[in-house]
Amino acid sequence: MKKLIPFALTILLASCGGKTETASPEKRDITQAVYASGKLFPKNDYKVSARLPGYVEEIFVKVGDTVKAGQPLLRIRSEINTINVEAAKNQFALASRNASENGPVLSALKQDMMALQSKYELDSMNFRRYENLLAQKSTSQMQFDQAKVLLDNSRAAYRRSQMNYSSTKDRLRTESENARLQLDAQNSNLGDYTIAAAVNGKVYDIVPNIGDLVNSQMVLVEIGSANEFEVELSIDETDVSFVLTGQNVIYEIDAFKDVELKGTVQEIYPRISAGNKTARVTATIELKPEMNIYSGMSVESNIIVSQKKNALVIPREYIKPGNLVKVKGKEEPVKITSGVSDLEFVEVLSGITESDQLEK
C-alpha cells in the first residue's frame, strides 16, 4: 500500500522511541487506511454548453448567483445556420413537388402504368378472341399459346407498375415529411437562442465573455449545489481493492490547516485510468458551516479500510521477507501470519505470542 498521510495517524498510538535491538509483541488498537487525493466539487455539478456554434450576445447571470431550473443564463446568436435553412427549404420544396400527384416522378410512373394497362386490356381481348377461334377450330394451338403468353406477361408488367407507383408514392411522401421536419429543426436554430439552467443551484463559473465565439464542445457555465459538496478521489490501483462503499474517510484540506473533516465512501467506479493507474471514487464530506468552500479545492484523505481493537502487534521493521521474524532463543526464524497493518505496526494472527522477544 502507499504511504499514508501523517495526519491520519492521530487516531493511532505513537510509536516507541528510537530504534532498539529487541522488541516484544504488545496489545494495542490498530487502524489500516488507504491514502487518496482529490478535489472538492459541488453536488449535482452541471456544465452548460451550447448546442450550436455562435456568438455570445448577452449574459443574464454572474458568478455566485443562485439560479433555478429554467432560468435564462445567456443568449447566443448563430448566423451560420442561414445556409442550412436555405438548403433545407430547397430540399423540402423538391420533396414536396416530387410527392405531389402531379409531380414529375409520379406523373411519369402514372403514364407508364396507364400504358401497361392499355396493353394488358388489348392482350386480354386478343386472348379471348383466340380462345373462341380455337374452340371453333379456326386457329392453331400455337397461336393460342402465344396469345396466352402475351397476356400473362402484360398482366405481370401492369401489376408491377401498380406496386412501383404505390411504393414510390409512399417513399416520396415520407421524404417530404422528413424534409419538413429538417426545415423546422433548422428554423429553430436560426437567429438568437437562449440557454437556460437545467437544475437549481449556484453559478460557479462563466467561461465566455459577450462577443466570444463559442461551439458545442465548449463549457459555458458551471452550476452546482449551493451548499452541498462531495469529493472526487483518485486511489492507486494497488489499494482500490481494499476500499468499499460506506467506509469512513478522514480529510485534510490545504486551505484549512489542522482541520480534520470526515465523510464516507459513496461510489467506486470499476475502471482504472490508463494514464495514471488510479481508480475514481466519490465520497461525502461533512463541512463546517463557517468554512468558505470553493469548487475544485484540493483534498488529501485516508480511507479507513480496517480497524482492530486490542490486537497483538509488532513493529514493522522486525519483519523479514516472507513474513519471518527472529525470536530470541530460537536458532531459526519463525514464520508469522499477519493481519491489519499501518505505518508502524503489523498485527500478528499466529506464529508468536506476547511473551516472545524479537531481535532484528
Are 122 and 172 members of one domain? yes
* Domain contains 237: yes
pLDDT of amino acid 192 = 61
φ, ψ for residue 221 (rounded to 5)?
-140, 140
Regarding whether 76 and 52 lie in a shared domain, the answer is yes
Domain that holds residue 249: 6-43+228-359
- Statement: residue 141 has pLDDT above 90: yes
Query: C-alpha cell of 359?
Result: 531481535
**Averaged pLDDT for residues 193-200:** 88
* 205 shares its domain with 69: yes
Give me the pLDDT at residue 289, please. Answer: 85
DSSP string, 19-52: --SEE--EEEEEEEEEEEEEEEEETT-EEEE-SS
CATH code (residue 199): 2.40.50.100
- Residues 109-125 pLDDT 10s: 999 999 999 999 999 99
Looking at the chain, the whole-number percentage of residues with pLDDT higher than 90 is: 69
pLDDT band at 190 (very low <50, low <70, confident <90, very high): low
- Residue 196, number of CB atoms within 10 A of its CB: 14
Q: What is the mean pLDDT of the chain?
A: 88
Per-residue pLDDT at 177 exceeds 80: yes
Q: Specify whether 145 is located in the same domain as 198.
A: no
Residues 219, 160, single domain; the answer is no
Residue 260 counted as domain residue: yes
- Cβ-based burial of 314 (10 A; exposed 0-12, middle 13-18, buried ≥19): buried
Instruction: Of 7-16, 175-184, 280-289, 327-336, give the lowest mean pLDDT range.
Output: 7-16
Instruction: Please state the rounded mean pLDDT for residues 163-192.
Output: 87
pLDDT at 300 over 60: yes
Would you state the cell numbers that stand for residue 256, as one nine-digit string?
484549512
Above 80 in pLDDT, residue 209?
A: yes
- pLDDT at residue 186 greater than cutoff 90: no
Q: Is residue 1, in this structure, part of any structural domain at all?
A: no
